[in-house]
Each structure stands twice: as structure tokens, then as C-alpha cells.
Structure 1
Amino acid sequence: MTDNNLLELCRTNTNLTAMQINLLQRIKMALPFTADLVMANIGLYVYAKQKTEFLIIDHIKPHTAYTPFKHSKAGRLRKIQEEPLIKYTIETGKSMSGKREWSWGKFIEMHTEAIFDSSGIVAVASFEMQPGVSKVEGYSYLYRTACSLLTYSHKNLDAYMFRALTSSDGIIIADKNNRIVFANTAAMRIYNILGVINLIGYHLFDHQLSRRITKETISIDKPYEKELTADSITIVRRDIPIKVGGSLLYRIIIVSDVTEVRKKDKELLIKSAVIQEIHHRVKNNLQTIASLLRLQARRSQSQEVKAALKESVNRILSISVVHEFLSQQQEEIIDVTKVTRNILNLISQNMLPPDFKLTTKFSGGTVILPSQQASNLALIVNELILNSLEHAFENTASGTIGLTITKTREKYILDLYDDGPGLPIGFEKRQSRSLGLQIVRTLIEDDMDGKFELYNNNGTHARITIPRDIRGE
């Protein structure tokens, strides 16, 4: 449930004030973390308008324990008589423990805690868990820490620090003197690798806990999180001090073994660097081929051969533009607008006389495409720009080429246009013998499953419509 939904739910079904609703919104943010901490379902109950029913404003299941019993849905109303433990706590402000039957003859443990503001009791939090969970050694410290979070949540919390836990995360609780009073199995396993057999009783800053740490990285963006390297493992340590009135109550330490994650990150970086180098070499090879073709063109006596070789050079260079972009970034995606700009620069340098004034216009945002589609589009743009330069600006000293991009939920529409005289009367693109237009049509319709149109509108417009893969964005 979002904060807006909770706000609307409370406004419609309760008499809570705006400040009380705001308090519950802040508490709600830390509930998933709290549920993971105590391995219990947590529900938030408030009086409905008539005070003959309770409104369940949130109910969270933990990620760290299996809870087979169904949890109550947020927004559901419960008669007061059906919730005696909630009723006792909301009326007295005192904690209560008992059992709830969730299936015929099957019971869960239930503990209730009052949530206060300056005017009194606002809500009740219920902690529901399987029998036996509370018998874990040191669980009382976990539970008391979770209860202190309900009070601590009166503050504005850092959502990142209170992100949900996983079953493999180590949990350590230290008291107000920073003495460890609880450590779960995952935390013990991690510190066993560091040569510490039993964490209970150690001071958090004891040299024994850090003597094998060889590297410590503190994130400026996350001041309470550190990455530690020791021997062959890498640990992320989250430090959450719980203070009330300026005094430390408990300190929650979450330790996560991220050794394999960091290994994979390193492998991906290496792989990315190799791929970037490959793209760089492909770009260089393509430019070398283009240089050889230019050399061949200069030696040829046939104007027809020279023109064909010049067109081939432009096609090769348009593909090299894509590889140049890919060699400079880690992701295998391309900004089509940037590619079009570069292709325009390349072609205009090769095809236009020095005194020709070319104006370029771009509007409508951009299109981000995977490298294969971007390579296709680079060739398409190259051919269409070549056509414009060849046919639209004869006997003129200036001209405009533009690109307008329109996005819908299902497709991209690219309109590449010039302000020349337009298509000749009776022109039919499918009957055209132009190799460039044949390349364009084949790439768009066959390779990209798109649509290609040519039409006149104060110049020639080439409209390209290609499906949009929303999953890849």
C-alpha cells in the first residue's frame, strides 16, 4: 500500500488527525524491515470511525521466515470482539501476549504493542509468529529492538538503511553500551570465517572483531554503511543506531556476505571493458576499410565507380559511428538522436561543398535502441540523408534536414525530412531502382518489423515506424 492509499484509507474510515496519519506513514516505512528482524507478521490496527471495529491499515509478512498462516489484508475492518488482545492494548496502552487460532486446532503466537503520540494511543502493532520463533536464544532482545523501532519511527527515516532483509543476512543487536546481546546464525557464520567463534558479549568495536579486516570502504552517500574486505570474503555492514531522546537504546548491525556479488561485478566490468575494446577495434577496422575505398575511388577513372565507392564509404562510416558510441559506454544501447547528429556531420563533410549552409533540426526527445537495431537505424538514416543531399539541394546554397521523434506506448515514429522540392510526381518507392531505398525498406520492414513511408510536405518526409519493446526499457 502506498502512502497516498493509506492516507485515503484513514481519512475515509477513521477519525485520525493529519499528524497521526503522518506518524503511521513513517512507521509503515520501517515495517518490512521490522517484520524481517523479528521473523513475524506485523499488522497495524486503528479504531474505525464508530470505534466498534478496528481498521487494518497495513499488514506485512517477513522475508526471513516462513509464515503459513494467512495475514489480514490492509483496508479490512475487524469487529472489536474478534480481537481481544488488540482491544486490551488500545484501551490500556499496555503490551499483551497470547495466541490466535489461524486454522482448526492450529495456533500462532501473538504480541501487541501500543503506538503513542503526544495525545495518547494512536494505533496497535500486532506481532504474529509461529510457535517456537520466540524461543530462539536472545529473541527477547530482537523483540525489544523491534518495539523500539515503533518509537524511533516518529523521526524521518532513511528508507535505504531500513530496506528489507533476506534470510542470508546476519543480524547483530548491541545494547546501549555497544555490547553484543544477540547474533543470528548467519552473522555467526560470517564472523566464524573471520576467526570469531562466538559474538555474544563482545564489544562492537573490539579489536577481535576487526583484526582480520584488510580494507574498509565508507560510502559518502550512505554514512552508516561500510564495505569490508577480509581474507577471501567481502562484507557489507549496515549500522543502525536506535536512539530515543538522544540516548542510545540499541544498535542494529546487518552484515551481508557479498563476496560472490562482487566477484560477478568484477567479471562484468572486465567483460564490459573487453566488449568496449572490441567495438573500438571494429570502429578502427571499418574506418581503415573506408580509407582503402577512398584510395580506390581516387585511382578510378570512372565517375560511376567513384560515386558507388563514395556511397559505400558513407555506409561503412555510418556503422562505425554506432561502434564508436558503443566503445565509449558500458551498455549495449544507443541514443538514436546522437547517432543521427554524427552521421549528418560525417556525410555533410564528404558530400557537401564547403560553402553550403546546412541547418539541422531535432525535436521530440530521443530513442534508445539495442546495438543491433541502432546499427540498422544508422544505415537507414545514412541512406535517407544521402538521398536528401543528392536530390533536395541541387542548385541551392542552403538547406534544412530535420528529425522529429514521436513515442507512443507501442511504437516509435521517426520523421526524417528536408525542405527541398519534394518527391517527383508519380514517384513510387517500391518501384524505385535506388539501392539506398531498397536497403532502407529491407532493414525497416524485414529486420525491424516496422513500416516505411515517403511523402511530400514542404519537402520530402521519410516516416519510420518501429515497434517499441517496453520490456527492454
Structure 2
Amino acid sequence: MKTKYTINELCKKYTSLSNNDISKIIDISKSLDFMADFENSDVFIDVLSKSRNVAIVVAEAKPKKSVYHDSVIGKKALRSNEPGVLKALEKGLPSKDIRALTQEYKFVKQKIHPIKNDNKVIAVLIVEKDISNEIKEDFKIGLNKSIETNTESQKLMNLINSNQIVNNNLDDAILIFDNEGKLKIKNNKASILYKMLDKKNDIEETHYDKVSLDNKKFDNLNKQIRYCNGKKVLKREVKVGDFYFKVKTVLTNEEDLSVVEIIKDITEIKNKEAEIISKSVAIREIHHRVKNNLQTVASLLRIQSRRCKSEEAKVTLEESVNRILAIAATHELLSKEIKDEVNIMDVINAVANNAKRYFNNISHKIDIEVNGEDFYLDTDRITSISLIINELIQNCFDHAFKNLKSGKIEISISGDEENKIISVEDNGEGFDTSKESNSSLGLSIVKSYIKDKLRGDINIISNNTGTKVQFKFPIKI
């Protein structure tokens, strides 16, 4: 079936690939028909979308007997259904014999090979074979002598074809029990799992109570299970020795088959979570110590400032103290965060409060107001923004309110998902921007950090009613 979309159109719409990358994909796509005939399989080219959570099919070729009824060009490949495709796009590693669920909810086995341009993964080539028969053979049936083989097999097929039970659990252990609690159906994963746990070599016909990982009783399941999306489901996490499992128990409507239990091994995930938490605690402790060390340096500079006879030297040292404390405030916030990101509003408020303590005095009463849309940002740029805000507030105190006893500084945050805008505006005396001093250390720091660290732009507007400094920067670099 000829699609209305072209590779070029889809890549331009969903990706950030260059024209050179797209040309290479187009060249490779010209041989897909030959590959489909040679492999007697469906062949596709997928690209990674801008959101990075899904892949987009941009080219396809079908054999005489295809798994697919309709064209899938332009459709999405989800991570939950085709994990191998997303992994190959992200890691650049080839793989084979990866089980997946197609856009038409059919089971296939995939061979996946990354397509590279200048050592960068730009797409993946996928060869798919139908494995419906393999899925059927993956289940072992314990037959009750009082039940005919055809009847039991039909029930099994009904369960296999039921998306609500099996579709997304091909790599999980699946056990199906009859109305008396005896295990009637299991897949190979279940056999492997119970051998690993030293339970039994053969668990067929074993009662639910003897294979339950968390010692739940078959007769009590109906009381413990709750309705979820119209089905009676019980979900929980279970620890057995050094292993962790996610267990889902479902009551079925099949005649003579009562309970389905799906067991997913999450030991690796749990171990990684524990490792991440351990590293996170260590990183937070480092940030805490850095904050303490910076405060110590600031205290030493204050002592030096008090002993200075030169007023100019005192001012310079106090400005340095304030800059150090602005950085220390960021590390203090990072010492309380689990992720390596900080809430921008918290940082600006911390810097503003620090500035008010150091610059407000009896003769000057300056209010600082912070408002706008909050967002999170990485450590490096957060530190840069804290220094920029500190310098701009300091400039306001030093120059905008020289001849005024009171005033107001308003810091506002706005923007969208791609760009953020931060403004620092005062209602002071203003200045002539055409005579802006290039020798000002504070303004030099501001301009340098906005350009080099944030990849942003700065705009300064000033008149006799005050000054507004606004800088805009991309949220992603």
C-alpha cells in the first residue's frame, strides 16, 4: 500500500535529523523490497522522535505473506511494545531475537541493526518474523484427566489471545490456576524462576498456597483483590531472599480456570535504585560540605574586610563575600535535592534574601519581590543564574537607589517549554544606557555568564522611572 507520507516529510516533522542523515536513510530504504523478499519477513526503518519516548516508522517493505494488514508508515513504535527498537536507537547496539508487539497487536521476533552516519545513530533497520506459534509452544499445559485436551487447549488459546492478561508480559512468569487452586498452565519463564528460587523442579499441579511468593492463601484471594479498570486485580512487590518481584494477581472469567498470576523480576531495578540512592546521599553530602567551605571562605573575607583601612578594598571584599554566598546558597539547595536539578524559584529567593540581609540598612529600605513560572534546571546553569541575579540585585542597591530612601526590585520568570526569560526590574533613578560602563565588574560577569554559560541574550532598558534587565536563554542546550 502506497503511503501519502515520504521519509523526508516524516523525518522533518518528528526528528532533528540533518538533510545528510535523511538522504542516507532514503538511500538505504531503496533496498528494503529486496531484503523483504530475501528474508521473507517484514522490513522497516524507524527513527527516534524528538520526545525520545517513541520511534516513528518512516519506511517499510512487505513479503508476499506479511504480518501486517495495513501500512504502518508514520505510526509510532512504543517502548513498552518494542523495547529493542528504542534501545538500539539510544545505545547504537544491534540485537536479534527480540520479542515485540506490533501496532496491530501481533507477536513478532525482531532483528534490529542501527543505521549510523558520522558515528551517530540516525535510524534502525528492523526485520520482523511472526512468532505466534512459538508463543503457543512457550506454555506448558498440565492436563487434568477429567478434562479433554481440546477443551483445555482452547481455554489456553483464549487466554493467550486476551490482551488484558498476556500481551505485555512475554518476559514475565505466568501461572494460571483452576478453581481448586491447582496450577494448570505455566510458561517457561515460570519454570526458570521457581528453579532459581529452589522451590521445586516441577510445579505443575501444585496448589497456589505452596507457590505463592508472599504466602497468600488461595481461599482468601477474593477478599483481598480489588476492582481495577473493571477487573479484579491485586498488585504488590515481594522480596524473596535477595530477589525482588512485582506480582499481579488477576481473577479470570474462564470456566475452570480461576486465577492468573504474573510475576516480573525487578531485582536489577531495585538494586540500581539502591545504588542511585546511595550515590545521591553521597552527592548531597558533598554539596553540604562545599556550602560549609564557601561560608568559611566568606567569613575569612569578612574578617579581612573589617581590618581594611581602604574603603574601596572593603567594598570589593564585601562584593566578593556576597558572590560566594550566592554560590553557597545554590549548594545548600542541592544538598537537599535527590536529583541533580534545582527549583529556580528557590534559588532566586535564596539569593534575594541573602542580598537583603547584606545591603539593606537603616537609611535604605528596599523590597525584593519574586514571581512567575517555576521550573527546574541543572546544577551548572543554576549556579550561573544565582551569580547573575546576585550581580543585578547588587547593582540595584549600589546605583539605582543612591538618592532614595526606599525602593522596590521585582524579579519575574516567564517563557515557554523551549525558552525562559528572567527579568530584574527596579523603580530607581535609572541611567543612560549609551554611557554604560564597560569597566563594571558586575555587569561584565552578568554579560559573560548569560552569553557563555546560558547561551542567552541580554536586554537593558532604563529611564528616569527605573531600570529593567532582561535575559532570555534556551531551556535545553
Quickly name the TM-score band, shorter chain normalised. Answer: 0.5 to 0.7
Q: Note the alpha carbon deviations across 1:248-292, whole angstroms, 9 max, x for none.
A: 953111111111111111100000000000000000110111011
Asked whether the 8 Å contact 2:140–2:186 carries over to 1, the reply is: no
Quote how far apart the aligned CAs of 1:455 are: 1.0
Q: 1:437 aligns with which of 436, 443, 449?
A: 443
Q: 2:461 aligns with which of 448, 455, 459?
A: 455
Q: 2:208 aligns with which of 201, 204, 224?
A: 204
Name the counterpart of 1:184: 187
**In the aligned structure 1, how far is the partner of 2:359 from the partner of 2:367?**
15
Structure-2 change in CA distance of 1:133 and 1:415 (3 Å): closer
SS at match of 1:426: helix
User: 1:229 and 2:239 equivalent?
Assistant: yes
**In the aligned structure 2, how far is the partner of 1:292 from the partner of 1:220?**
63
User: 1:71 and 2:68 equivalent?
Assistant: yes
Quote how far apart the aligned CAs of 1:422 are: 1.3
Structure-2 change in CA distance of 1:219 and 1:347 (3 Å): farther
Asked whether the 8 Å contact 2:433–2:462 carries over to 1, the reply is: no
User: 1:323 and 2:331 equivalent?
Assistant: yes
**In the aligned structure 2, how far is the partner of 1:403 from the partner of 1:353?**
21
Structure-2 change in CA distance of 1:309 and 1:442 (3 Å): same
Name the counterpart of 1:351: 359
Report the number of matched residues: 334
Quote how far apart the aligned CAs of 1:207 are: 6.5
User: 1:468 and 2:471 equivalent?
Assistant: no
Name the counterpart of 1:313: 321
Q: TM-score, normalised by structure 1?
A: 0.64
Structure-2 change in CA distance of 1:210 and 1:435 (3 Å): closer
Q: Note the alpha carbon deviations across 1:429-458, whole angstroms, 9 max, x for none.
A: xx5211011111111112221111211263
Name the counterpart of 1:144: 158
Structure-2 change in CA distance of 1:298 and 1:248 (3 Å): farther
Letter in 2 for 1:464: F
Over the aligned positions, Cα root-mean-square deviation in angstroms equals 3.3
Letter in 2 for 1:433: S
* Residues 10-409 of structure 1 mapped to structure 2, 5 A cutoff: 69-73=66-70, 130-131=132-133, 133-135=135-137, 136-138=139-141, 140-146=154-160, 165-195=168-198, 196-206=200-210, 224-243=234-253, 249-354=257-362, 356-409=364-417
Quote how far apart the aligned CAs of 1:459 are: 1.2
Name the counterpart of 2:50: none
Structure-2 change in CA distance of 1:131 and 1:228 (3 Å): closer
Which moved further from structure 2: 449-458 or 314-323? Answer: 449-458
Letter in 1 for 2:186: A
Asked whether the 8 Å contact 1:367–1:412 carries over to 2, the reply is: no
Asked whether the 8 Å contact 1:334–1:369 carries over to 2, the reply is: yes
Which protein has the larger Cα radius of gyration, Structure 1 or Structure 2? 1
Unaligned runs of 5+ in 1: 1-67, 76-107, 110-127, 154-161, 212-217
**In the aligned structure 2, how far is the partner of 1:416 from the partner of 1:221?**
53
Structure-2 change in CA distance of 1:360 and 1:142 (3 Å): farther
SS at match of 2:206: coil
**In the aligned structure 2, how far is the partner of 1:365 from the partner of 1:166?**
41
Asked whether the 8 Å contact 2:456–2:473 carries over to 1, the reply is: yes
Name the counterpart of 1:104: none
Quote how far apart the aligned CAs of 1:366 are: 2.1
Asked whether the 8 Å contact 1:141–1:181 carries over to 2, the reply is: no
**In the aligned structure 2, how far is the partner of 1:72 from the partner of 1:274?**
54
Letter in 2 for 1:231: G
Name the counterpart of 1:64: none
**In the aligned structure 2, how far is the partner of 1:352 from the partner of 1:221?**
61
* Higher relative contact order, chain-length normalized (CA < 8 Å, sep 6+): 1
**In the aligned structure 2, how far is the partner of 1:286 from the partner of 1:241?**
60
Quote how far apart the aligned CAs of 1:164 are: 5.7
Quote how far apart the aligned CAs of 1:304 are: 0.8
Structure-2 change in CA distance of 1:464 and 1:219 (3 Å): farther
Q: Note the alpha carbon deviations across 1:197-221, whole angstroms, 9 max, x for none.
A: 222111112268668xxxxxx9999
SS at match of 2:323: helix
**In the aligned structure 1, how far is the partner of 2:312 from the partner of 2:226?**
63
**Identity between Structure 1 and Structure 2 (%):** 30
Structure-2 change in CA distance of 1:142 and 1:401 (3 Å): farther
Asked whether the 8 Å contact 1:362–1:404 carries over to 2, the reply is: yes
Asked whether the 8 Å contact 2:174–2:261 carries over to 1, the reply is: yes
SS at match of 1:191: helix
Quote how far apart the aligned CAs of 1:343 are: 0.8
Q: 2:427 aligns with which of 409, 419, 423?
A: 419
Structure-2 change in CA distance of 1:327 and 1:132 (3 Å): closer
Structure-2 change in CA distance of 1:324 and 1:400 (3 Å): same
Letter in 2 for 1:376: S
Unaligned runs of 5+ in 2: 1-64, 73-105, 108-129, 142-152, 216-223
Structure 1 ranges of 4+ moved more than 4 A: 207-211, 218-223
**In the aligned structure 2, how far is the partner of 1:264 from the partner of 1:323?**
25
